[in-house]
Amino acid sequence: MKRKIIIFGGITIVVLAGAFLFYFFYLGHPTRQTLAKVNDEKVTIEQFNRELAKMENPLQEMYKEEPNKFLDIIIIKTLLVQEAKKQGLSVPAKTYKDITKDFQSPEEALVAELMKKKFSSPPKVTREEVDTFYSIFKGQMGGKNLKEVAPMIEQILQEEKQREEVGRFVEDLRKNAKVEIDQERLQKIAAKPPESNTPDDFKKALTDGKPFLVDFGANSCIPCRQMRPVLKEVDKEYAGKTRVLIIDVYKYQDLAREYKIQLLPTLVFFDPKGKEVFRHMGVLDKEKIVAKLKEIGMSI
């Protein structure tokens, strides 16, 4: 009897230890912690990271810095999938040819079916709406008359109306859903955004006696983020001959106003005397940046 008790006790300990290890290494793993609940359906850090890995840079980096925005995308997708299931929709069977031509995950395919059912008919566009659009944008129609461009205008208006309908549909789903977000946990996984130069760095460059470039941009601007690797390369390769400064216009609004920045990014080139000699609005490739810096006095 005593031996049976000992054996039973040993088995119990093994089972409890196994359960503890399962919880600690699997369920208790940080990536399986819950970021949000959408109508009691969990969104874990693991799911968040898996979805984020599908994004390309610079969007991936931007969402890492502002995970609340990407989490909102996941929440909306979850709500749409839930709604599709509630309506009894299913993914139609596809052939191998269909799959290789247009691959979609089961969730994406389900959302597509929901959108197809919900918005099967294009919104109606009146003749008055077409006329109004034409009268406003007539100067941009390349001299074409209303009859020539009416079908194109109607399509533009239909697409805009459909976007608005989809927006209202999603907004209603979100409004009627039970969504709980762990803000503290969300904040912990947020990556630190890249730092910009300061107005003091700018003042120093003005009196440094070397030509330099200032990128007036923002971390939330996709073209600006696409430019960053190029600007860093130029700054590193020509260190001591020039400087490339990155100024966040939202952080240093006074400086942006002083230089009348209207479009992001705006690249402003200064000569060795600190005088603005050239500016370019939008993305500029590395060769043109280097050529312009040499043109305004950068030593080779």
Task: Give just the sign of the alpha carbon dihedral 97, 98, 101, 103.
Answer: negative
209 backbone φψ class: left, alpha, beta (φ>0; ψ -120 to 50):
left
| Residue tagged active-site, from 214, 221, 268, 289 | 221
| Residue tagged active-site, from 45, 224, 227, 234 | 224
**Amino acid identity, residue 141?**
M
Q: What was the pLDDT predicted at 31? A: 61
- Annotated domain spans of the chain: 1-32, 35-125+156-191, 199-295
Alpha helices in the chain (DSSP H): 2-22, 45-52, 59-65, 67-86, 96-101, 106-118, 127-137, 146-176, 183-188, 199-206, 222-237, 253-258, 286-295
Verify whether residue 81 is a known catalytic residue.
no
In DSSP terms, which residues pair with 38 in a beta bridge? 41, 179
User: In angstroms, what CA-CA distances link 244 with 118, 184, 189, 251?
Assistant: 51, 36, 30, 18
Cβ count within 10 A of residue 196: 19
Is this model's pTM higher than 0.95 or not?
no
Verify whether residue 221 is a known catalytic residue.
yes
d(CA 269, CA 208): 14
Q: What was the pLDDT predicted at 98? A: 55
Q: What was the pLDDT predicted at 187? A: 96
**Tens digit of each residue's pLDDT, the chain (300 residues):** 555 555 555 555 544 445 444 444 444 556 679 999 999 999 999 999 999 999 999 999 999 999 999 999 999 999 999 999 999 999 877 655 555 556 688 999 999 999 999 999 999 999 999 999 999 999 999 999 999 999 999 999 999 999 999 999 999 999 999 999 999 999 999 999 999 999 999 999 999 999 999 999 999 999 999 999 999 999 999 999 999 999 999 999 999 999 999 999 999 999 999 999 999 999 999 999 999 999 999 987
Closest CA to 262 of 298, 216, 297: 216
Q: What was the pLDDT predicted at 1? A: 55
The 3-class SS string of 85-148 reads HHCCCCCCCCCHHHHHHCCCCHHHHHHHHHHHHHCCCCCCCCHHHHHHHHHHHHHHCCCCCHHH
Architecture of domain 199-295: 3-Layer(aba) Sandwich (3.40)
